[in-house]
Amino acid sequence: MLPADFRTRRFQAVGGYLDSWAMRSETVVQVQALVKRYGSKTAVNGLDLTARAGVTAVLGPNGAGKTTTIETAEGYRRPDSGTVRVLGLDPVREAGALRPRIGVMLQSGGVYSGARAEEMLRHVAKLHARPLDVDALMERLGLGSCGRTSYRRLSGGQQQRLALAMAVVGRPELVFLDEPTAGLDPQARRATWDLVRDLRADGVSVILTTHYMDEAEQLADDVAVIDAGRVIAQGSPEQLCRGGAENTLRFTGRPGLDVGSLLKALPADCSAAELTPGAYRVAGKVDPQLLATVTSWCAQHGVMPEKISVERHTLEDVFLELTGKELRS
């Protein structure tokens, strides 16, 4: 474990992060009418995205355009049309001024395969004026025992954590994290979540791409869902989850109940389905009257409902409703 004052020692800078651009300006990334094509394929099609100070999670199916959008914001791709501003700067034309202020975590790691983990992290740290303490950061991310191991000999999870360390070691004002917990075990995943929370608490804004809905719900102040090259929904997790059914009532009973009959007893804006044999879901505005209607219908049909529960509409529910349930390559 790290000393109790680790966060203070890690992120304190001259004047403190509370005096940073990200804390003085609400918007850290502004994308307007972005278009990016690869030959005849349009990957991003007039996309608008605003990311404000805090943690913004970017979600989308494979091929939706989220990686292209993030790489354009990082300055690695030039837009065909539209405007992109990161911390108020053009990430292509003003890359020299922007680079010292952002951290980028790449899925590929961006590390020479023969380099040792610690020497690579120290090399990146030396590129910055006020880097974090390398030893403490390595311990925090569970890399203390593999500092002398070459990158190619690290496990996939260790490579992922090293990429994360390289992204934050320079004390960025804004950090882009691309699938930061992919392939990590539960303990390392929670440690990464804690680090993201610490970054946010110290005034660092985070743009996070992830396929884990629970990760977005746990960490994000704002969520943007991208599909077919556009942002199709954006808001806090709470706002998005209120966008569909307010909540869901689930119960179990004998398989094969007459769901059509149950549906006729429910208000017009409700739906009912048998998801798996004996497992039923009623979606809509769940209130005491709806609960009474369902239990009354069960009594009239000789059904003893079990495990009745009222569940909040989840971010995964919203994501599937917005983008469809089919798998995409």
CATH of the domain at 53: 3.40.50.300
Claim to verify: residue 60 and residue 180 sit in the same structural domain: yes
Clarify whether residues 237 and 263 are in a common domain: no
User: Residue 142: its pLDDT value, please?
Assistant: 92
Query: Is residue 184, in this structure, part of any structural domain at all?
Result: yes
CA distance 73 to 243: 28
Q: What is the pLDDT of residue 285?
A: 83
CA–CA dist 88, 14 (Å, integer): 22
The verdict on 41 and 156 lying in the same domain is: yes
Cα diameter, the chain: 74
Same domain for 66 and 165, yes or no, is yes
> Which residue, among 316, 178, 323, has the nearest Cα to 240 in the 3D structure?
316
Which of the listed residues 208, 241, 274 is the one where a domain comes to its end?
A: 241
What are the beta bridge partners of residue 27?
A: 52
3-state secondary structure of 301: coil
Asked if residues 46 and 199 have their Cβ atoms less than 8 Å apart, the reply is no
- Is residue 319 a part of any domain in this protein? no
Whether residue 43 contacts residue 230, with contact meaning beta carbons closer than 8 Å, is answered with: no
Q: What is the pLDDT of residues 270-298, one digit of tens each?
A: 999 999 999 999 988 888 999 999 999 99
Q: Which residue segment(s) compose the domain that 276 sits in?
A: 247-312
Paired tokens of 62: 């494979």
Same-domain check for residues 26 and 132: yes
Mean pLDDT of 1-10: 39
**Is residue 320 in some structural domain?**
no
Whether residues 296 and 195 share a domain: the answer is no
Asked whether residue 22 is domain-assigned, the answer is: yes
Report the mean per-residue pLDDT for the chain: 88
Q: How far is CA 1 from CA 78, 191, 259, in A?
A: 42, 11, 54
pLDDT at 9 over 50: no
pLDDT the model gives residue 11: 42
236 and 254 belong to one structural domain = no
Q: Which residues of 71-108 are buried (b: 16+ CB within 10 A; e: fewer)?
A: bbbbbebebeebebbbbebebeeeeeebbebbbbbbee
Query: Which CATH number goes with the domain that contains 295?
Result: 3.30.70.1560
How far, CA to CA in Å, does 328 sit from each of 64, 228, 271? 9, 12, 27
Residues 260 and 236 both lie in one domain: no
Distance from chain centroid for Cα 16: 26
114-129: average pLDDT: 93
Q: What does DSSP say about strands 27-38 and 81-86: parallel, antiparallel, or unpaired?
A: antiparallel
Decide if 326 is inside a domain: no
CA separation for the pair 27, 21 (Å, rounded): 10
Share of the chain above pLDDT 90, in %: 76
Same domain, 251 and 237: no
Say yes or no: 41 and 167 in one domain: yes
For residues 187 and 245, what is the distance between their CA atoms, to the nearest angstrom?
33
Residue 25 and residue 77 in one domain: yes
Q: What's the mean pLDDT in 54-62?
A: 96
**Does residue 297 belong to any structural domain of this protein?**
yes
Q: Residue 101 has which token pair?
A: 């202020």
Residue 112 in domain: yes
Whether residue 164 is contained in a domain is answered as yes
The number of C-alpha atoms within 13 Å of 267 and in the hemisphere containing its C-beta is: 14
Q: Which of 241, 257, 292 is the last residue of a domain?
A: 241
Place of tokens 């059914």: 245
**Residue whose C-alpha is closest to residue 241's, from 216, 265, 205:** 216
pLDDT at 18 over 50: no
Q: How many domains does the chain have?
A: 2
Residues 106 and 194 grouped into a single domain? yes
Query: Does the structure show a pLDDT above 80 at 154?
Result: yes
Whole-angstrom distance, CA of residue 231 vs CA of residue 199:
26
